[in-house]
A and B are shown apart, each in its own frame.
Chain A
Amino acid sequence: MAAVDNGADDVYLGFRDETNARNFAGLNFDEASLRKGIDHAHARGANVLVALNTYPQPGTWRRWHAAVDRAAALGADAIIVADAGLMRYASREHPKLRIHLSVQGSATNAEAINFYHERFGVARAVLPRVLSLAQVEKVIGRTKVEIEVFGFGSLSIMVEGRCALSSYATGESPNTHGGCSPAKAIAWQERGTVLESRLGGVLIDRFDAGESPGYPTLCRGRFTVKGETYYPFEEPTSLNTLELLPKLQAMGVTAVKIEGRQRTSRYVETVTRVWRSAIDECATHPQRYRVHPAWHEALASVSEGRQCTLGAYHRPWK
């Protein structure tokens, strides 16, 4: 509701189970709340996209079929799918249901996207956060499929759908269980003034007094390489592409994806409001568009680590 009321065009929702990639306790929707959410969105002209973006696991995949059927019956405007087999099912059983290719589907090139379009009529694809702006533009030029890119949120350093780090340490990963670094595998331990975080027993980080401890995600841990201790994979930063908006718009990006799920309503309100203003301003006056300092301040107040980056869009990134 916070997203719709503050100007989102589309909102992602998920059922309360492992059929979506934010499978955490207390999050997501049962049938009644989902129906209410869809009514609320539709009354305000917004679309509801139901995320079914995990990989149906062997032997249990009728649950995913049922989730597709449910999304169709509830009047979802589209389903977001990563698994090719599930797309095959959805396009056969619900030919009118719009399918979006999830970022978890790992399609980084027009050939892959067009394959999904030809086989299953996929209408939109979300690109993994690995391409530079020029590469995004090339993909757009070679497909009829609408392209959605990540605009704001945590920066996943590994290609979505191609990361098993979490299951290596905990037995559960986004592909197999719909989540990374599950809470039940986490342990915190105080040793004097030092706080240690562990995942599946593996020491992920050690925080001195005064350091603010982050969630122990594997790729954001501090480890040692040849005697040097640092963040070998990623510092805790957020992706923020506000300044790229005119370029994204000019190259024909259909939608900017803003991370909002698993977040507080204050975060969702703030972020949606800032991006709504920015997109509207960019659409009306693309030449005069500039990032207002107040937008940055507002976003920084809710971002992780308060550090922002352009990620892979910016080529010299390392």
Chain B
Amino acid sequence: MIPQRRPRLALGPLTYYWPRAQVFDFYEQALAWPVDTVYLGETVCSRRHELRSADWLELAARFAAAGKEVVLSTFELIESDSDMRTMRAVAENGRFRVEANDMGAVALLAGRAPFVAGPFLNVYNAGTLALLAESGAMRWVAPVELSASGIAAVRAEAEHAIETEVFAWGRLPLAVSARCFTARYHNLHKDRCEYRCLEDPEGLLVETREGEPFLVMNGVQTQSASVQNLAPWMPDMARLGVDVLRLSPQASGMSEVVSVFAQLACGALGVDAAGERLAHVANARTCDGYWHGQPGMARVAQPQ
């Protein structure tokens, strides 16, 4: 039997817009967390610039010095020339690995440097995975919709050796739009949004008219209101050979989330105990439907 490798942990890109001091404070703490990889940079909105490129690069250098793999992520959606310039600067930074979240970024990286194929590239089959591997992808992040058996099937048919990363914790990034829903809520034009995203460190909660939390508006991005928690399925993920688990930053409790996943990954904590601790941190209902080929909002794991 092939020994199972311990899945590594990655801190995903920060999806929210926080004041500059809060971002630095968050990453100051993260330097000490047991994560192997850190994804840095703005992926959601080009108007968010509490941190400039130089700030992100400085953070990247600090994480690299702390012995962590650093990956700079590109925008999920490219609309303007300035988006393009930013993406080009990230892709051609010359030092740090890049996560491509748009085929335009893949075009810039192809044949130049090994890169991560981000979750927005829509890799649903081995043919697309092969194209990305041939272009230089060393890892792919599965689309959030893909189930465990889907991931297994893509891996089984893959023509190339390539690492697999799974979105294991956090609010699911479900959609991206040309419209800014936060600006719309405040009745502002997108181009004059007054940076209102700063008011809601975990986005704006969208409830049904029955008061059920359903989605979260985060500028041009829409997320799930439930927190996807795949911790109970750690044994599955290890068996499948998932290489990296992505933990998506939230405003509170991330230190505990990372700690629980790290103990779970090395076997120091059981699935039940981990579930109990994470239920306290989630600050929302948890879900794991996608992993089982069900609606993403479904919860298959029993509540602890």
Contact = CB atoms under 8 A, between A and B. Distances in A.
Interface of A: 55-59, 61, 82-86, 88-89, 105-112, 114-116, 119, 128-132, 135, 138, 157-159, 161-165, 167-171, 173, 175-176, 200, 202-206, 219, 222-226, 228-229, 232-234, 312, 315-318
Interface string B11-42: 00000000000000000000000000000000
Contacts of B127: 56, 61, 83-86, 88-89
Given A59-B153, A223-B208, A223-B209, A318 B183 contact: yes
B207 A224 contact: yes
Contact of A58 (B83, B132, B146): B146
B212 interface: yes
A83 B108 CA distance: 19
A115 B107 contact: yes
B256 interface: no
B174 A203 contact: no
Interface in B188-202: 188-191
Contacts, number: 224
Given A106-B122, A168-B224, A219-B175, 8 more contacts: A59-B157, A83-B124, A88-B127, A157-B177, A164-B296, A168-B174, A223-B209, A223-B215
Q: Report, nearest first, the 5 A-B pairs whose CB atoms are least far apart.
A: A85-B127, A130-B178, A58-B153, A85-B128, A111-B104
Contacts of A318: 179-180, 183-184, 187-190
B222 A158 contact: yes
Nearest to A156: B177
Contacts of B271: none
Interface of B is mostly: mixed
Interface of A is mostly: mixed
Contacts of B210: 203
Contacts of A202: 208, 212, 214, 297
Interface of B: 76-81, 83-84, 102-108, 110, 120, 122, 124-132, 143-146, 149-154, 157, 172, 174-181, 183-185, 187-191, 204-212, 214-215, 217, 222, 224, 289-290, 293-297
B188 A85 contact: no
A216 to B, nearest CB: 12
Contacts of B145: 164, 167, 173, 175-176
27 contacts: A85-B129, A106-B103, A108-B79, A108-B104, A109-B83, A109-B84, A112-B78, A114-B107, A119-B131, A128-B178, A130-B178, A158-B222, A159-B77, A162-B122, A163-B174, A163-B175, A164-B143, A164-B145, A165-B174, A169-B297, A202-B208, A203-B210, A203-B212, A223-B214, A226-B185, A312-B179, A318-B179
